Amino acid sequence: MENDTIDKENQEVRRTRRRRSRIGESIESERRTSRKHNKRKGGIASKVFTVLFSLGTIGIIFVMFLLYGPYSGFREWLVTTAMTTMTHQYFATWFYDEDTINYILDKNKVVEIDETTDANAINMAGLKHTTEYENEFERAILERDEKNNDYKIIEISEKKFDGYLVAVYDPSRVHTVVTEKLGVSGQYLTTMAKNNDALIAINGGGFNDPNFNSTGGQPLGITVSMGTYKTTASYGGAGGIIGFTGDDKLVLGKMTLQQAQEQGIRDAVTFGPFLIVNGKASSVVGNGGWGTAPRTAIAQRKDGIVLFLILDGRTASKPGADMDDLIDILQDYGAYNAANLDGGTSSVLVVNDVIVNDPIDSTGAHKTRPIASGFIVSKDDSDDSDHELVEEKLK
């Protein structure tokens, strides 16, 4: 009996040892599995880090190559686009010193025609209706309904931009308007258009912005509205006076106050560059020095028809227009004298108090900003214009 008891005890001890052994093996197996899992996790994390680090390094090298490499196209685009904005010049000054920026700007500029407009070349007799057209552009401008005595809207769509060209058939109704808070702050063009009973309006000249707050209260240079001289400051930038005389002719010139008065300027802003003077296009060196952005321009044909050009930009697929683009379009449509107006977020077309283009500000928001001046087409008693391309927006 005693031996049986001892055998049973020994068997129980052996079973206990086997159980402990199996438990130990299980624990060790779990430990081995955990170590393998942790090792795999560590390997994946290491690979992810390596990939991210490599991509970051490649990205930095690529950016540095664009900024400082042998290919100058990107940095010239960056500098010229940034330096013509009001609030984002730091995109250029972060990376380049003043000498480099000035060197790039000197390589990319608009060389203007050194002439003042010959108003005698504008023949208002050409405003009469015609049924003969030299090309598709002439047809687009001149083909109109008998009832349409105000203007015609022509849609512009190119690879880099979309926009509108407006043919104004009565230049006597084109006037300059200014902010009611002159010297303090600008106004939205819709407000200025409504306050001045405008049928159509576009933004005008540049304005001083010393604190980069885009308030638009002080127009550059000389500003004239319906015969009244609103500002008379000197101006040394590109372009100069962009204005209409008493006989409704668009005159471009670098003028003093006295010269503007002697020319009989009734409505004008100050800005530039001049794009076409007396039928001669300015020379664009490099990319023109104004970068790529939304644009506004004003022009007059030899027959007296006034052209408003408004081009949108600042999207991934359509960044905007440069000076060459403006010249090409305006020449196609017969411009004899033409000038660039303020662009970027300022570029706005208003019809019947409604914005019909798509202005985008520097943050990417679809909105415009307060400005100092604009050009309008005043209303008359028979306004029945062609709204075909914008009627949905006007609704």
**pLDDT value for 379:** 87
Q: Is residue 368 part of a domain?
A: yes
> What's the CA gap between 143 and 340, in Å, rounded?
26
Q: Is residue 1 part of a domain?
A: no
DSSP-based three-state secondary structure for 8: helix
Q: Examine the domain organization and report whether 260 and 357 are in the same domain.
A: yes
**pLDDT value for 342:** 94
What does pTM read for this prediction?
0.77
Range of the domain at 254: 111-394
Crossing angle of the two packed helices 98-107 and 73-83, in degrees rounded to 10? 100
Q: Is residue 167 part of a domain?
A: yes
Q: Examine the domain organization and report whether 95 and 238 are in the same domain.
A: no
- Give the dihedral sign, CA 143/152/358/77: positive
**pLDDT value for 148:** 67
Mean pLDDT per 10-residue interval, the chain, length 395 residues: 55 59 60 61 67 73 64 68 62 72 74 88 73 88 76 93 95 96 91 94 88 73 96 92 97 94 96 96 83 94 96 92 96 97 94 91 85 93 63 64
Structure tokens at 336: 């004899």
Q: Is residue 383 part of a domain?
A: yes
Q: Is residue 19 part of a domain?
A: no
Q: Examine the domain organization and report whether 322 and 382 are in the same domain.
A: yes
Q: Is residue 222 part of a domain?
A: yes
Q: Examine the domain organization and report whether 89 and 220 are in the same domain.
A: no
Q: Examine the domain organization and report whether 145 and 258 are in the same domain.
A: yes
Q: Is residue 7 part of a domain?
A: no
Q: Examine the domain organization and report whether 322 and 370 are in the same domain.
A: yes
DSSP string computed for 139-163: HHHH---TT--SEEEEEEE-SS-EE
Q: Examine the domain organization and report whether 136 and 150 are in the same domain.
A: yes
In Å, what is the CA distance from 184 to each residue of 77, 146, 224, 342?
A: 33, 44, 18, 19
Runs of H (alpha helix) within the chain: 2-68, 73-83, 90-93, 98-107, 136-142, 189-195, 257-262, 323-332, 391-394
**pLDDT value for 156:** 96
**pLDDT value for 36:** 59
**pLDDT value for 279:** 96
Strand extents, DSSP E, 226-294: 228-232, 240-245, 250-253, 265-271, 274-277, 280-281, 283-285
Q: Examine the domain organization and report whether 78 and 182 are in the same domain.
A: no
**pLDDT value for 272:** 94
Q: Examine the domain organization and report whether 211 and 100 are in the same domain.
A: no
Domains identified in the chain, total number: 2
* Boundary (domain end) residue, out of 107, 124, 150: 107
Q: Examine the domain organization and report whether 216 and 324 are in the same domain.
A: yes
Q: Examine the domain organization and report whether 85 and 187 are in the same domain.
A: no
Q: Examine the domain organization and report whether 175 and 253 are in the same domain.
A: yes
Q: Is residue 366 part of a domain?
A: yes
**pLDDT value for 358:** 92
**pLDDT value for 198:** 94
* Boundary (domain end) residue, out of 48, 80, 107: 107
